[in-house]
């Protein structure tokens, strides 16, 4: 995907190039501006190189055939009934009865992702509600027969809605280690060093891709998948969903584990000394204020928080 060069483009040069390109694309550029752009390009080889790259990007679009805008803006923005009606008009010789299967292209293809510290709530067209936690990437693939969510990385909760589509489509989530098939439910999945699934309403069937085993996980229970298979059923811990309300909920949580959790939501590192990693922490902590949380920990535990920079924090014994 990236070009062979190792160094990142100077952001000032890039912004200038983009500003000039935009000026010329606006349809409003004056002769003075055209001359100014030419001068800027000639100022240095780096300017010209970045300019040519922007030109190369544009030419990929200009090489596309007629109708491409229709195709590229099709997802969720195309009125399928209008398209079907036009198809009927076009195929006037053949009488067509609109049955359930004539929904035809009921294909939804969309991806959602969050960056570090970002959380997102998404409602899918069938009414299913997704919450994405920090650093999470999902793909949504709905077609005539299935509703599939692919969890590439991160943590989500899913609240399924009954399928409004005439043919009920099963909903499943693919993770790196296995499939979670929803049986009308509210559940939580985290895909990281292990893949964990907890069910808070209804049930899911969890299948391990590598080992082929399947397990029914019902409301109030959770399982953990690792390389070797699906672990035993355990009681589901509702605290894992605290982030959907912008909090971390700790109940006698070892400090080391808590700080590793907190670290996920911010760029930078939080180091916990072994000497204090086992201290138990309880409480409800807001996710949007790292300073506040670290202060609170300093108040309630015999620890000292040292900030070497915004991106390096170390928690040690006092």
Partner 1 sequence: MTQEYSSAITDLYKQHNSWLVNWLRRKIDCPHRALDLAHDTFLKIISRADAQEIRQPRSYLSTIANGLVVDHYRRRSLEQAYQEYLLLQPEEVHISLEEQALIVEALVSVDKLLDSMGKKAKQAFLLSQLDGLTYPEIAQQMGISVSSVQKYMTQAMRACYQVCYE
The closest of 177, 120, 168 to 142, measured between CA atoms, is: 168
Q: What is the dihedral of CA 83, 87, 89, 94, to 10 degrees?
A: -150
Distance CA 172, CA 142 (A): 10
Shortest Cβ distance from residue 23 to partner 1 (Å)? 9
CB 184 within 8 A of CB 160: yes
* Pick from 205, 206, 210, 214: nearest CA to 228: 210
Which residue, 22 or 300, is less far from partner 1 as judged by CB?
22
Write down the least CB distance from residue 63 to partner 1, Å. 7
Nearer to partner 1, 55 or 260 (CB): 55
- Quote the least distance from Cβ 307 to partner 1, whole Å: 30
Tokens of 250: 């700790």
Bridge partners (DSSP) listed for residue 180: 173, 206
Cα–Cα distance for residue pair 131/188, rounded to 1 Å: 9
CB-neighbour burial class of residue 60 (10 A; exposed 0-12, middle 13-18, buried 19+): exposed
Say how many Å lie between the first and final Cα of the chain, rounded. Answer: 48
- As measured in angstroms, the least distance from the Cβ of 258 to partner 1 is 27
**Nearer CB in complex with partner 1: 224/307:** 224
Binding stretches for partner 1 (CB under 8 A): 1-3, 5, 8-9, 14, 18-19, 21-22, 25-28, 53-54, 56-58, 60-65, 67-75, 78, 83, 86-87, 90, 105, 107, 109, 111, 139, 141, 143, 145, 148, 150, 152, 174, 176-177, 179, 209-210, 227
Smallest gap from Cβ 294 to partner 1, in A, equals 33
Smallest separation, CB 173 to partner 1 (Å) = 12
Considering the complex, state which of residue 28 and residue 232 has its C-beta at the smaller distance from partner 1.
28
Of 227 and 318, the one with the shorter C-beta distance to partner 1 is 227
Nearer to partner 1, 120 or 148 (CB): 148
Calculated CA dihedral for residues 247, 240, 201, 151, nearest 10 degrees: 100
């Amino acid at each position: 995907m990236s070009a062979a060069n190792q160094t990142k483009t100077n952001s000032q040069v890039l912004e200038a190039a983009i500003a000039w390109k935009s000026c010329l694309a606006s349809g409003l550029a004056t002769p003075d501006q055209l001359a100014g752009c030419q001068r800027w390009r000639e100022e240095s080889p780096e300017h010209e190189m970045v300019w040519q790259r922007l030109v190369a990007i544009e030419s990929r679009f200009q090489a596309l055939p007629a109708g491409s805008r229709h195709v590229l803006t099709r997802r969720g923005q195309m009125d399928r009934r209008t398209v079907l009606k036009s198809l009927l008009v076009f195929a006037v010789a053949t009488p067509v009865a609109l049955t359930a299967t004539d929904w035809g292209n009921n294909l939804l293809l969309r991806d959602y992702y969050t960056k570090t510290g970002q959380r997102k709530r998404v409602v899918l067209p069938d009414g299913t509600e997704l919450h994405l936690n920090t650093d999470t990437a999902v793909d949504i693939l709905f077609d005539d027969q299935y509703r599939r969510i692919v969890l590439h990385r991160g943590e989500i909760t899913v609240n399924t809605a009954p399928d409004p589509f005439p043919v009920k489509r099963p909903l499943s989530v693919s993770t790196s280690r296995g499939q979670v098939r929803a049986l009308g439910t509210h559940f939580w999945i985290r895909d990281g060093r292990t893949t964990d699934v907890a069910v808070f309403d209804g049930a899911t069937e969890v299948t391990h891709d590598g080992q082929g085993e399947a397990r029914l996980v019902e409301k109030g229970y959770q399982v953990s998948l690792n390389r070797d298979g699906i672990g035993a059923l355990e009681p589901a811990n509702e605290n894992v969903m605290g982030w959907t309300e912008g909090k971390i909920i700790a109940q006698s949580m070892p400090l080391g584990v808590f700080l590793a959790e907190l670290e996920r939501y911010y760029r930078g590192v939080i180091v916990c000394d072994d000497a204090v990693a086992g201290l138990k922490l309880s409480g409800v902590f807001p996710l949007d204020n790292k300073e506040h949380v670290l202060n609170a920990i300093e108040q309630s535990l015999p620890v000292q928080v040292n900030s070497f920079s915004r991106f390096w924090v170390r928690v040690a014994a006092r």
